[in-house]
Chains A and B, each alone.
Chain A
Amino acid sequence: MDTYADLIACEDVLIFANAAITSTGQRELYSTGQEQRLSLDFLHQYIQGNYPDIYATALALDINDHNAAMIIRNLLRERGSGDGRLIAWRLARMSPPRVYRLFRELRRDGVNNRRTRAIIRDWLNARPNLAFDAVKYRSGVKAAVRHTHLSLPAELGDFLFAPRRRTRFDTPILETWRRAHYEKAALYELPYTVAEGFAARLGIGRAVFLERIAPQLTRLERLRLTERARREGVDTRADLAAMPLVRLASYVLSLPVAKRGPEHADALRASAVRAASPHAGTWGKVVAVLDDSFSSYGSPVKRRRPLAVALGCHYLLEALAGSYHGLWLSGRKDPLRARPAGPTLLGKRIIDALELRPDRLVIVSDGSDNAPPGLAAEVLRVWRRKLDPMGEVAVVHLNPVYDAERFDVLRLSPMVPTAGIRDVEDLPALVELAMFSQGRTGLAELRAYLADRAARR
């Protein structure tokens, strides 16, 4: 039998999981970046103070990199808290710039215990090509090495701390970097971000530069530069279908409606099929209510993020379901033409969705139901109490926006489980996690679930 303390603990943990999945400390439509960071900081301190073991195992969940970095930073600050292997595993999944930023923050905080040094050392040793990192993330590598007193191979040490000591380097990438100071041809062998600086210094035209640097671009740089390069008459040959769903959706939504074509729909579909592959077609009859009201615009720093999540969910659910029907709040039929405008008519759309008698109803919305306010909650309540007391239709609400004031994602109704969402690929796992928030399963199961997720790593 669960005590009240257990129930509260269970709720706290789920609140933290939702926050850590959705919030990136950036501005949202309804709160500023400052408010988001303040709220998130408090939540981290609260959970670390009260549930230190759960705080450490949260790294195993699908939380975003911003929160993972915060957790690691807080764990390393304390003596002997957290599992070193789990930290190392999470670091290996983060993007290198973010890891170097984390190392720099550790340095600024004066965290330099033996465990921290070992973790940084192991992470650096595991890098496939440290010399490449030293060129691309020069100040980051330099700060990490200086902080942990690592001894580097002689040449790399010279490159970072005394580059003028040598007239030539034996490592090819370092030698290219040296030559790029004087020779235009050499800079095209460097990573794009480094080459851009040299190109500006050597006065190379943008069109010529983009044309020749194209083979060096990374996957995401190709996508990011597509439109800019097209204006210069250069094709970056971005492989749209290989992109993660939300990133691809964001890119498609950034295009003017007239320019979104069937090739974008195909790419979205291919990406969704890849993400859904183990579960494809197993979800039965699914209906989704997708939010394209004005609030799905997000903010200038997270432009159209909530709408991109909804668009990604549309394609992923299409791949997961046996039969699928997506209902947009604006009543738009073609998902590719989605744009963030109009009120949040959640209540009526949910009735429309329930009329289709699905096995599963997924609502993707920021939960700020305003037309009229609170109607969605009432509809769901009456539906659960009166029309479907056995719970034949599994309803789940996924919310891409963290509400800084409430320390949680906004819930539609206590009758319906709510989970935060950031990467659409995690949707099946999130639906699993959301089931804990209905209060039917207790803290023991939740702990077991977290431990299991951590052990599976």
Chain B
Amino acid sequence: MIDLTGLETRPAQTWGAVRLVPLVRPEPIRDLRLHAKIYGDEPSLVALPDRTTYTAYIPHAFVASWTDDGTPAAAYGTQLGEPLRRMGVRTRRRMARRVDRNRLRFLPLHLALEGFLALHFGGPTLAWEEWTRQALAHGLSPRIEDAYAGAQVHGLDDALHVFEFYPGQCGLLLYVGDTLASAFVVPHPEDYLALHPTLIRDLYGELIYEYALFYPARDFAALIDAAAVASLADLRAQAEQREREWAEFHDSVMAAGLLTAPKRDEVVYRLGRFALRRFLPSFERQRENHIGEMITDEAGRLAYLKTFRLSEAQSRRGYLLDRLAEHEWSMPATAAALGTDEADLGLRLARAGFGHLLRQDVLDAYRKSARRGR
């Protein structure tokens, strides 16, 4: 569960298909601060502790500074990257790495995405005969997922540009075509001011890219019932009522999918009283699946959050892998659990992009039996 206590929802601002919902923290968190470290445009290579590598376009890292005794921490100033003279490959060690006594560098979103890619990365745990030798020896490697950069999402740049900050704003929920694309929360309003532009360089799923090309989002216009108003005080009460109703509607309906999304989480690093963790969704079909990472304090209150909405195909992949792992990668057992036959499951795996894990002759047999069955 994600706990949004201490963050208040304010009225949304719309631009084209994009709806931006600001979150305001009346009491900012002072002993944890974030700043961005801008990298160049070259691809990055991250060496992970399990001796695998993660390759991606990583435009920036976040650096979290914290204090152990609760005194205010200072955010390091945002730096501009040096002009790029050559195309190189950057190598980094680990997704989250301590750079100083009280400072941690981590790669936002990539931390979560790597968690998604590494899901059951080891491959079949028992050597069932359907799986190829490659799958048994090397698991799912190489595991690849695609995403769009924010700059490619139609209208997102303008929406972020004309957005009007609230005083004390510490977060933003970004909807595209009224689908939650990304949630972003930071500890302090000044961090938010500095990090708002990084949203344009973040990752967005295919779903978001497609929805941005759709119809524009409509404003939820406030409506006041004239019959209930007899004085200016009534009018003010009505106006405040509208604002509360919007916040309630948003938190309980529009953001509901996000708040209940995390099903499994894992602590990546402990920063004093805070903990950096990443989470994976349940991969249930027909519902929103968000992966992400967050920093929470000892009471579980949110200090930092960044999420990525998986597209349908991506959550399908996660779902199939989960089901297979649940049944120790046995095809008949998994198929029975899904209420289908082996051939159908095999073809579903192939369509999801995992065809290379199954032996060619097994896959051919599945295709043949599917044709005969039709």
A385-B226, A386-B229 known; A373-B11 Cβ under 8 A = yes
Task: List, in ascending order, chain A residues with CB within 8 A of B223's CB.
Answer: 374, 378
In the complex, identify which listed stretch (A52-60, A103-111, A159-167, A343-351) lies at the interface while the others stay far away: A343-351
B236–A374 touching, CB < 8 Å: no
Among A295, A378, A387, the one with the most B-chain Cβ atoms within 10 Å of its Cβ is: A378
Query: Which B residue's beta carbon lies closest to that of A340?
Result: B164
Q: CB of A293 within 8 A of chain B?
A: yes
A227: min CB distance to chain B, Å: 26
Q: CB of A30 within 8 A of chain B?
A: yes
Query: Which A residue's beta carbon lies closest to that of B158?
Result: A30
B165–A342 touching, CB < 8 Å: yes
Residue of A342, A347, A354, A386 touching B164 (CB-CB under 8 A): A342
Instruction: Give the number of A-B contacts (CB < 8 Å).
Output: 88
A383–B235 touching, CB < 8 Å: yes
Q: CB of B132 within 8 A of chain A?
A: no
Which positions 2-17 of chain B face chain A at CB distance < 8 Å?
10-14
Among B10, B12, B224, the one with the most A-chain Cβ atoms within 10 Å of its Cβ is: B224
Query: Which B residue's beta carbon lies closest to that of A32?
Result: B158
A381–B226 touching, CB < 8 Å: yes
- Residues 139-175 of B, flagged 1 when their CB comes within 8 A of A and 0 if not, give 0000000000000000000000011111100000000
Task: List, in ascending order, chain A residues with CB within 8 A of B230's CB.
Answer: 386
CA distance A378 to B11 in the complex (A): 16
A354-B232, A372-B242, A375-B239 known; A295-B222 Cβ under 8 A = no
B239–A294 touching, CB < 8 Å: no
CA distance A375 to B163 in the complex (A): 18
A379–B11 touching, CB < 8 Å: no
CA distance A29 to B163 in the complex (A): 10
B80: min CB distance to chain A, Å: 19
Size band of the A side of the interface? 20 to 34
Task: List, in ascending order, chain A residues with CB within 8 A of B231's CB.
Answer: 387
A57: min CB distance to chain B, Å: 37
Residue of B10, B226, B235, B236 touching A371 (CB-CB under 8 A): B10
A290: min CB distance to chain B, Å: 16
Q: CB of A355 within 8 A of chain B?
A: yes
Residue of A29, A347, A373, A382 touching B219 (CB-CB under 8 A): A373
CA distance A381 to B225 in the complex (A): 10
Which positions 233-268 of chain B face chain A at CB distance < 8 Å?
235-236, 238-239, 242-243, 246
CA distance A119 to B235 in the complex (A): 58
CA distance A330 to B167 in the complex (A): 9
Q: CB of B299 within 8 A of chain A?
A: no
A29–B11 touching, CB < 8 Å: no
- Residues 369-412 of A, flagged 1 when their CB comes within 8 A of B and 0 if not, give 01111110111011101110000000000000000000000000
Task: List, in ascending order, chain A residues with CB within 8 A of B236's CB.
Answer: 348, 351
Residue of B14, B22, B235 touching A379 (CB-CB under 8 A): B235
CA distance A322 to B14 in the complex (A): 40
A351–B239 touching, CB < 8 Å: yes
Q: CB of B221 within 8 A of chain A?
A: yes
A370–B232 touching, CB < 8 Å: no
A295–B162 touching, CB < 8 Å: yes
Q: CB of A208 within 8 A of chain B?
A: no
B239–A348 touching, CB < 8 Å: yes
A374–B164 touching, CB < 8 Å: no
Q: CB of B215 within 8 A of chain A?
A: no
Residue of B165, B229, B246 touching A382 (CB-CB under 8 A): B229
B232–A355 touching, CB < 8 Å: yes
A273: min CB distance to chain B, Å: 33
Query: Which B residue's beta carbon lies closest to that of A373?
Result: B219
A395: min CB distance to chain B, Å: 14
A29: min CB distance to chain B, Å: 6
Residue of A30, A375, A387 touching B242 (CB-CB under 8 A): A375
A30–B246 touching, CB < 8 Å: no
A372-B243, A382-B229 known; A343-B222 Cβ under 8 A = no
- Residues 12-35 of B, flagged 1 when their CB comes within 8 A of A and 0 if not, give 111000000010000000000000
Task: List, in ascending order, chain A residues with CB within 8 A of B229's CB.
Answer: 382, 386-387
Q: CB of A341 within 8 A of chain B?
A: yes
CA distance A341 to B163 in the complex (A): 10
CA distance A386 to B239 in the complex (A): 15
Task: List, in ascending order, chain B residues with CB within 8 A of A386's CB.
Answer: 226, 229-230
A349: min CB distance to chain B, Å: 11
A375–B164 touching, CB < 8 Å: no
A372–B220 touching, CB < 8 Å: yes
Task: List, in ascending order, chain A residues with CB within 8 A of B221's CB.
Answer: 372-374, 377-378
A343–B166 touching, CB < 8 Å: yes
A343-B10, A375-B242, A378-B223 known; A351-B165 Cβ under 8 A = no
B222–A375 touching, CB < 8 Å: yes
Among B164, B224, B232, the one with the most A-chain Cβ atoms within 10 Å of its Cβ is: B164
CA distance A390 to B115 in the complex (A): 66
Task: List, in ascending order, chain B residues with CB within 8 A of A354's CB.
Answer: 232
Task: List, in ascending order, chain A residues with CB within 8 A of B243's CB.
Answer: 372
CA distance A294 to B230 in the complex (A): 34
Query: Which A residue's beta carbon lies closest to that of B14?
Result: A373
B220–A342 touching, CB < 8 Å: no
Task: List, in ascending order, chain A residues with CB within 8 A of B14's CB.
Answer: 373
Task: List, in ascending order, chain A residues with CB within 8 A of B219's CB.
Answer: 370, 373-374
A382-B226, A382-B235 known; A373-B220 Cβ under 8 A = yes
CA distance A382 to B235 in the complex (A): 8
A342–B166 touching, CB < 8 Å: yes
A348-B239, A383-B235 known; A341-B246 Cβ under 8 A = no
A370–B13 touching, CB < 8 Å: yes
Among A295, A382, A385, A387, the one with the most B-chain Cβ atoms within 10 Å of its Cβ is: A382
Among A351, A370, A383, the one with the most B-chain Cβ atoms within 10 Å of its Cβ is: A370
A373–B226 touching, CB < 8 Å: no
Task: List, in ascending order, chain A residues with CB within 8 A of B226's CB.
Answer: 381-382, 385-386
Residue of B164, B167, B220 touching A344 (CB-CB under 8 A): B164
Task: List, in ascending order, chain B residues with CB within 8 A of A293's CB.
Answer: 164
Which 6 A-B residue pairs are closest in the complex by CB-CB distance?
A374-B221, A372-B11, A373-B219, A294-B164, A375-B222, A378-B224
6 contacts across the A-B interface (CB closer than 8 A): A342-B164, A342-B165, A343-B11, A374-B219, A382-B229, A387-B235
Given contacts A30-B162, A374-B221, A379-B224, 20 further A-B contacts (CB under 8 A): A294-B163, A295-B164, A341-B165, A343-B11, A343-B165, A355-B232, A370-B11, A370-B164, A372-B12, A373-B12, A373-B14, A373-B220, A375-B239, A378-B224, A379-B239, A382-B224, A386-B226, A387-B229, A387-B231, A387-B232
